[in-house]
Structure 1
Amino acid sequence: MSMANFRRQSQLYSKHLDSANSQMCSSLEATYQALYTEFLAKSRHNDIPNSTADRVRLRALIDQTRSDLETCSESATRVQISKVLELQESLLAPIRTLPSDILTEIFQLVIETSSNPGITWKPTKISGRIFLLTWICFSWRDEALSYSAFWSTIAVVHDVPPGVPPSPTEMTALLNECIMRSGVSVPMRIRIFSYSSTDESLPAVIPMLVAQAHRWRQAALSFRYLHQIKSLFPFKPSSSHFPLLEDLSFQFRDYAHVDPGQNPILECHPPLQKLGLSLLLESYADVISSRSLKVLKLDRYRGVSLARLLRMCPRLESLTLRSFESTGNPKASKTIYRSSLLTLDIGGDYDNDNKVEYGAWNSVMLPKLIKLEVTLPDLIDHQDWEMAFEARTSLSKLREVIKQSKCALQHVNLIMYVADYKKWPQLTLGTANKFFEDLPVKAEGSFVENKLLAEWKEDLESTIRL
């Protein structure tokens, strides 16, 4: 046979094979379209093989599907076969046989590890990982819907400017359905962030959450004006309104022409263990009087000293204070109060010139203090450094109180934000040395900007040399 005839015969044979393969793939495509519909329904309903015989038959089907995938050359048909193979193999996945309680624990981890745990409502959409879990299959959906705690963490974020039409009715109805899924007795975690400038522009969904106040265990509320929250809680103060509330953070951004007192939630005296406030007046400190409060975070505190505040909360273990504004003569109070405070974090309020004025520590003793963190602002010149050390943060007075209290500090961290260490190296080093001078803390517990003091000094010297 000549070479030309051989090539011609080879081409005819190749075309015959291609034609046969094409016919086979066409037949397979119809078969696997039907199989895809069948196994998709099985996957959605978690119709897994329960007997040994059923599992053997399914594994045989999987082997046949893999064989067809290897022999088929049509790309569209291969895609269809691959989808069926994935569905068939998923029916044998161990996760489909997990007990309900273990599956619930996994769901809980998936939801809690999200950057925004729970459900987030916005005027144009509602989102949350819990919805993704309900879309996998019917059994997962039933599991997610039947566990009320999955629906008990709700955030409302309202950042629509005034004049914009209200959110669609279906968005409000959807959130109401989520609240109903959370049950009637499961404790709730609530977050409300509203940037509206008027009460009229507040979303209608907020009163729906307020109606569940008796179930609130944790709440983070942020409004532009204080009076907006008062309009949402028109009831008279009563301990029955927030019987479960243990963790409350309340912030408002505009301090102009407002009375920072009269907080309707605090006046109900919930059993708080953690509390965060934008502003607290010493004259209003009685309202947070509690033997259960352990953690207090204040952006601003206005008063004569911290003595009265600490007296109102005798079991307070941690205090964060960004700004103290003196309102009177610090020598007016002569009663020494010995606080059970363990952790103190002060400074860092740049909007208020980092003022923790002299007098904050008057009449205060801290015999149990073991952890201290102080934040200094980014300062410009030598004079500002001295003002910060001596007056604005009242560090000299605080150091004096610590030594008089005879406490044994275990961890001290000084935060100094300096734009250019090369410009003020000696001043920066001198401030750190002055701060730690005679403090009752060991070298292994002394830190600057979260670095051991000795390592920080070495890094500073290396920066200076460069």
Structure 2
Amino acid sequence: MSSLKSLSAPIRRLPVELLTHIFVAVCDGHPIAFAARVPKKIERLPFTLASVCSSWRQIVIDIPRLWSNLQIPYEYNSNHSCPEQQLRLCLVRSKSHALSVGLWDGEKSPLVRQLVEESARWQHAMIAYLLEEEFPSLASRKSFPLLETLDIRQHSFRDPHLFLFNSAPRLYSLKTTKLSPPEKLAAFTPRNQITDPGSQ
């Protein structure tokens, strides 16, 4: 009887378009994070929604935007089963959608390396410790054709290596906790296109 009531629940009569808007509204602002300190129901909302029922699962899987906001903390949750496979699944489900990434660790993390490989899809990026030795792949003249906002949390006495993002033609917003001196900023070629500068 309870299963019959579930099948006749009003939410099952909502059109896919409306459910899509609801799912996007619920997940926006909550990145898929691999952090042990974040409650599971918040850190992996798309996975949670996809586990409700088969119809929701298909809808959620078919919304690339839900899988495109990804965050790797300094110490990602190693208790997750196969975190690298889970991140790869997110990247597959995000299809060609632009990515928002938060990187609290460098390329020594296999998860960060996966996201760096997708840097051409970055639209919004938050990076801690922006140093060439932390992100050697970014030093190999990578291009960031979609990047619009860059947020640097430089918890270091060293200046951020902004030149790593010299090839970012759409970058308009730069926020940083530590601003490089003028002589170093001169090597940051997108500096003249920044219309939303800021410091924290």
Letter in 1 for 2:199: L
- Among 119, 126, 129, which residue is 1:220 paired with? 126
**One-letter amino acid of the structure 2 residue matched with residue 282 of structure 1:** P
8 A Cα contact 2:145 2:170, kept in partner? yes
| CA shift digits 1:44-74 (9 cap, x unpaired) | xxxxxxxxxxxxxxxxxxxxxxxxxxxxxxx
Bigger helix fraction: 1
2: CA distance between counterparts of 1:270 and 1:169?
A: 38
What secondary structure, in the 3-state scheme, does the structure 2 residue paired with 1:242 have? coil
Q: 1:120 to 1:227 in 2, by over 3 A?
A: same
Aligned pair partner of 1:181 in 85, 90, 93: 93
CA distance 1:174–1:282, shift in 2 (3 Å): same
How many angstroms does 1:89 deviate by? Answer: 2.5
8 Å contact kept, 2:131–2:161: no
Relative to 1, partners in 2 of residues 1:120 and 1:168: Cα closer, same or farther, differing over 3 Å? closer
TM-score (structure 1 length as normaliser): 0.38
**Contact 1:219-1:248 at 8 Å conserved across structures:** yes
Q: Equivalents in 2 of 1:187, 1:131: separation in Å?
A: 19
Alignment of 1:272 onto 2:171: yes
* Structure 2 residue aligned with 1:203: 109
Q: Which has the higher contact order (CA 8 A, sep 6+)?
A: 2
3-state DSSP class of the match of 1:279?
A: coil
Alignment match, 1:79: none
Alignment-derived partner of residue 121 in structure 1: 34
Q: Deviations over 1:311-339 (max 9, x none)?
A: xxxxxxxxxxxxxxxxxxxxxxxxxxxxx
Q: Deviation digits for residues 403-444 of structure 1, max 9, x if unmatched? A: xxxxxxxxxxxxxxxxxxxxxxxxxxxxxxxxxxxxxxxxxx
Task: Name the SS for the 2:109 alignment partner.
Answer: coil
Partner SS for 2:17: helix
For the residues of structure 2 that align with 1:215 and 1:112, how far apart are their CA atoms?
18
The 2-side partners of 1:261 and 1:209 are apart by 20
Larger radius of gyration: 1
1:284 aligns with 2:190: no
Which residue identity does 1:189 align to in structure 2? S
Q: Give the secondary-structure state (helix, strand or coil) at the position aligned to 1:140.
A: helix
Using structure 2 for the length normalisation, give the TM-score.
Answer: 0.83
Q: Is the 8 A contact 1:233 1:264 kept in 2?
A: no
Instruction: Using the TM superposition, give the Cα deviation of residue 261 of structure 1 relative to its aligned residue in structure 2, in angstroms.
Output: 6.1
1:217 is paired with a residue whose SS is strand
Q: Cα distance, 1:177 vs. partner? A: 1.4
Distance (whole Å) between structure 2 residues aligned to residue 290 and residue 100 of structure 1: 44
The yes-or-no answer on 1:297 pairing with 2:198 is yes
The equivalent residue for 1:111 is: 27
Identity fraction in percent: 22
Tell me the alpha carbon deviations over residues 270-292 of structure 1, each in whole angstroms, 9 at most, x when there is no partner: 4112111222211133324333x
Q: 1:205 to 1:264 in 2, by over 3 A?
A: farther
The structure 2 residue matched to 1:248, chosen from 144, 150, 155, is 150
1:143 corresponds to: 59
Matched, 1:157 2:86: no
Question: 2:142 matched to 1:231?
Answer: no
Q: Secondary structure at the match of 2:139?
A: coil
